[in-house]
Amino acid sequence: MPASDPLVVAARGARRRAIAPHSGFKVGAALLTADGTVVTGCNIENATYGLTLCAERVAMFTALAAGHRRFTRIAVVADTTAPTPPCGPCRQILWEFAGDLDVILANLRRETGRHRLSDLLPLPFDRRLLR
Ligand code: THU
């Protein structure tokens, strides 16, 4: 889909609500549930740095707290020319709760990448190994 993909538009809107006074690096994410609901998140930084939450995890935890359990796509937006992919911990969290999502990366003007989460997180540790 083009950069006017509604999920990308939602992620751009979420990015405007980012609280990133320490890095200045604002990120927005929009998660599409299996029933068509869009749940957004933005990064929320903390003066301790380590307590910062990424946009992707805020979107996922917000969706889970609202009762959503099945997801199909996530869009991630940052103001970068190069694609801004989810960090390692976010990949793990997304895999745990959503499985093999479509991951759409975009900046403020255009789409910058499209991936399957299984390509971004090969050989994942997950609940199958706990049996
Ligand atoms: N960040 C995200 O929210 N998502 C990403 O995919 C990459 C990084 C945030 C964390 C921090 O607030 C800022 O971007 C700089 O790392």
The string of pLDDT tens digits covering residues 108-125 is 999 999 999 999 999 999
Domains annotated on the chain, with CATH: 6-130 (3.40.140.10)
Amino acid 104: pLDDT: 98
Q: How far apart are CA 22 and CA 82, in angstroms?
A: 21
CA of 83 to the centre of ligand 1 (A): 13
CA of 131 to the centre of ligand 1 (A): 33
- pLDDT exceeds 80 at position 3: no
Contact residues of ligand 1, CB 6 A cut-off: 20, 23, 25, 27, 43, 45, 52, 54-56, 76, 84, 86-87, 90
- pLDDT exceeds 90 at position 1: no
Q: Taking the model in full, what pTM does it have?
A: 0.97
Nearest CA to ligand 1 atom 5: 86
- pLDDT exceeds 90 at position 4: no
The residue among 97, 100, 42, 90 whose CA lies nearest residue 64 is 97
